[in-house]
Structure 1
Amino acid sequence: MKSQFRFFQSAILASIFQASEALVGLSWSISNTPETGLQDITFPISMPNAPHVSGYYFAQQFNFKNQSNVGYTGLQPREDVESSSVIHAVFSSFINGTTSTDSNCKDGADGGAGVSCAVDIDASYEHGYHLKVNNTGGTTWSGTLIDAVTKNETHIGAYTLPEGSGGILGTQVGFVEYYPWNSQAQHSCATLPQTEVTFGIPTTESGEAGSLEEPYEYGDCLNEVNFATTEVDDGYWIAVGFP
């Protein structure tokens, strides 16, 4: 049964990652999601052993009721600046008709329709981070980065979905992507840089239980990128690439 479920996950990913180099996928879900969808969801992600180099995107996707396309939120490592570590947080919509007046946001998402919001912060890689997506009224949604240790909150961005969009549906998939390969006609799987990340179990203020399925490899480097995963207390640790 699990192998059939993973095949279904891969089919979902194949329809979404038309132009991205996803390496690992994992499914999340929230039990007893209301018919109208969730009004908030929080995705924990930590990357204490990820190199401070641009290239990787650790993200969770989500769907809104009455919309076929998705939103993303996640973290990307960045190079240190004057000995300070930098984390890039992202909050995006790929839904046609999404609008935003937020200074952290711009029109378009990966060359297509939607809105992309992002912020860079000086932050410790030793801390875990919570990426919260919540409704702020009508069809407007906000993305927030929360330091799990200090509880400091950083606004990533906000956007408004087309009229008729509902709440967040109760299941989708996340991914680990090495995005420099998106702009390369060819790439060698054996040259993938090493990284590590832990995806935590999603939560919602509605109090319903969240869960994660075991991560699995995805993409054209299947079985060639030194993939490893282990279940931990609060989710799954993932490693890919070569030192």
Structure 2
Amino acid sequence: MAGWNYTLDATNITGLTFPFTVNTAPETPGYYYASQFGFTGATAIGYIGLQPRTADQYSVVFSSFVYGTEVVDSERCRLGADGSYGASCSRLYPIKKGQRYLFEVRRGSDDVNVWYGFVKEEGSTTETQIGAWRLPAGSGLLRSVQSGWIEYYKSVDTCYTPEVSQITVSPPYVTATGKQGSFYYPHEYGRCTGKVNYQYGWVGNDLRTTVGRRMITTDAYSSALFDGELSPDSFITIGVYDSQNKELEKHTVKVGKDYVSKWTWPAYSAAIFNSNLKKVKLGMLDINTGEINVKPGSSFENQIYKNKLDNLKVITTIEDMWVNNDPFGDELYTGDLASGSSVMITVKDQAGQMLEDYTVMVPDSMTGRWRWSEYTGYEFNNALKKIKIGVKDANNDITIMPWTSWQNKIWKKSQEHLTVKAEIFTASENPWVNHDLFGDKLAADLPSGSKVTIKVKSSLGNLLEEHTVELPDGHLDRYKWPPFAANEFNQIFKQIVIGEKEGDNTINVIAGSQYRNLIWKKERANLTVEVSID
């Protein structure tokens, strides 16, 4: 499956230590991680290593393939190794993932032909004997060059290895002196080369090797996420986060009306996500090859797969194009509005920054419970760009419904994450204040062909209204043009009124006055009014 070679610049070696760290492994038998070692007087070799058995129990193994090997530790060893000559020793031993363990091959002190295998947790003084066997006389000492490997010994018909495994091996060292060797030639081998998701990397001098299936599915998609037809122009968003909840990547797919069927949207969106996301893959897993491909026409087989080793968190959401969760109509106020009421809507972004605002003065004829949301809805729809008011149909079209107190809702686009606030003010809560830039504050008698232009801007400087009145020759003197223009402007402006405010708060144009006709605007609207004469 996968292997590496090692070399040491040493001779007369009577003991070698091989450090192993298991990063990820299945909790069932199948994998074998080992280092080989050779003898200067023999052609055959030995193994020392470990095999997963359960989540934390491993079989540690110490084997010789040298013809004529004799068993010394009869409690843990037997003759024969992997169906060949030699002897093999094993025992169960607790292994913790991420912890380095030291596997040592050591020559006996009383008999130079006896070799022992030991294992211990790095930093511990307690070692555990795996086994012992005796080689034929003349087998010599340990060689300075050999190899190590990962194998999957279960029968696999197709080369698709269903479990991921990752280990880190540190260069072996001479036990007596601590002199460390080095690795070279990390590689794949065997009939499944190129088919086991082999990957290696260096961590300093250590070699990290990964093999086997790394893609797992634990995150809802297809019918497990939503079992049904989506609304037209729905948004599906997949966000990928690391173990510290840091966003690694995110993408949103808009599903048009032609792809909203429960049999269509999973495959349609999966293909787009696969083109834009690198950390996950969507589709159906082929258990024979390990490949993940989008399955057309399926409501449940397309799933999200992620790398088991990356410890990723995947969050998937489906949102309609338009959402409503901001009070309006009866949800805002149930009943008739008071005379002189006004309704204000402010729209802010996710950071709380104002995007747009608008105030509608409600005429007395439209203050009834069944009319005010209809009237103001039309006005807001004409003035605001970020929201719509009305009733949403199956095609996502939003239109005002007349004569209703509750059906007209505020709709905003789900992907914009807006904060929308509607408020109702009585006349006293939102009084008229004057902007006294009119009448003789601007000019005296005007020449023929004069025009008066008024611009009304929002608190953000956005132009809300602009109108121009041409003054006829008979209304050019300082006492006539202000009331004439005021009457004309009052018929077309919605945000301001020109005239004199009476004791009952009504505003009326004063005929023949050059200074009593003032521009009035609602206090809470925070408008800017500009007047110019051309």
TM range (shorter): 0.7 to 0.9
Amino acid of the residue matched to residue 133 of structure 2? Y
Q: What stretches of structure 1 of length at least 5 have no aligned partner? A: 1-22
The aligned runs of 1:64-75 (5 Å cut-off) are 64-75=39-50
Distance 1:239 1:190 in 2: 14
Residue in 2 that maps onto 1:88: 59
Equivalent residue for 2:141, pick from 167, 170, 183: 167
Q: Is the 8 A contact 2:182 2:205 kept in 1?
A: no
Is residue 2:31 matched to residue 1:56? yes
Residue in 2 that maps onto 1:208: 179
- Provide the secondary structure at the position in 1 that maps to 2:154: helix
Equivalent residue for 1:116, pick from 77, 88, 101: 88
Distance 2:6 2:130 in 1: 22
The one-character-per-residue Cα deviations of 1:60-109 (angstroms, maximum 9, x if unpaired) are 101101100000001111114xxxx2021110000010001311100000
Distance 1:116 1:126 in 2: 27
Is residue 2:223 matched to residue 1:223? no
The one-character-per-residue Cα deviations of 1:194-233 (angstroms, maximum 9, x if unpaired) are 1111111101123433111141111101111111100012
Distance 1:140 1:222 in 2: 37
Distance 2:96 2:161 in 1: 27
Q: Is the 8 A contact 1:128 1:149 kept in 2?
A: no
Amino acid of the residue matched to residue 47 of structure 2? Y
Deviation at 1:149, TM superposition (A): 4.2
Amino acid of the residue matched to residue 77 of structure 1? P
Q: Is the 8 A contact 2:23 2:165 kept in 1?
A: no
Deviation at 1:122, TM superposition (A): 2.8
Q: Is the 8 A contact 2:26 2:163 kept in 1?
A: no
Deviation at 1:191, TM superposition (A): 3.6
Deviation at 1:138, TM superposition (A): 1.3
Distance 1:174 1:202 in 2: 10
Q: What stretches of structure 2 of length at least 5 have no aligned partner? A: 215-534
Distance 1:138 1:163 in 2: 9
Equivalent residue for 1:144, pick from 118, 122, 131: 118
- Provide the secondary structure at the position in 2 that maps to 1:143: strand
Is residue 2:208 matched to residue 1:237? yes
Distance 1:71 1:64 in 2: 9
Higher RCO (CA < 8 A, seq sep 6+): 1
Distance 1:163 1:118 in 2: 24
Amino acid of the residue matched to residue 203 of structure 2? V
Q: Is the 8 A contact 1:53 1:78 kept in 2?
A: yes
Q: Structure 1: which 4+ aligned runs deviate by more than 6 Å?
A: none
Distance 1:165 1:235 in 2: 30
Deviation at 1:127, TM superposition (A): 1.4
Per the normalisation by structure 2, the TM-score is 0.38
Per the normalisation by structure 1, the TM-score is 0.82
Q: Is the 8 A contact 2:28 2:52 kept in 1?
A: yes
Amino acid of the residue matched to residue 198 of structure 2? F
Q: Is the 8 A contact 1:127 1:149 kept in 2?
A: no
Q: Is the 8 A contact 1:72 1:93 kept in 2?
A: yes
Q: Which has the higher mean CA deviation after the structures are superposed, 85-94 or 189-198?
A: 189-198
Q: Which has the higher mean CA deviation after the structures are superposed, 101-110 or 123-132?
A: 123-132
Equivalent residue for 1:197, pick from 146, 167, 175: 167
- Provide the secondary structure at the position in 2 that maps to 1:206: coil
- Provide the secondary structure at the position in 1 that maps to 2:70: coil
Distance 1:190 1:112 in 2: 28
- Provide the secondary structure at the position in 2 that maps to 1:125: coil
Deviation at 1:159, TM superposition (A): 0.6
Rg bigger for which structure?
2
Distance 1:193 1:133 in 2: 30
Per the alignment, do residues 119 and 90 of structure 1 end up closer, same or farther by CA in structure 2, a change over 3 Å counting? same
- Provide the secondary structure at the position in 2 that maps to 1:221: coil
The aligned runs of 1:11-26 (5 Å cut-off) are 23-26=1-4
Amino acid of the residue matched to residue 51 of structure 1? P
Distance 1:155 1:29 in 2: 25
Distance 1:151 1:179 in 2: 33
Distance 1:242 1:180 in 2: 15
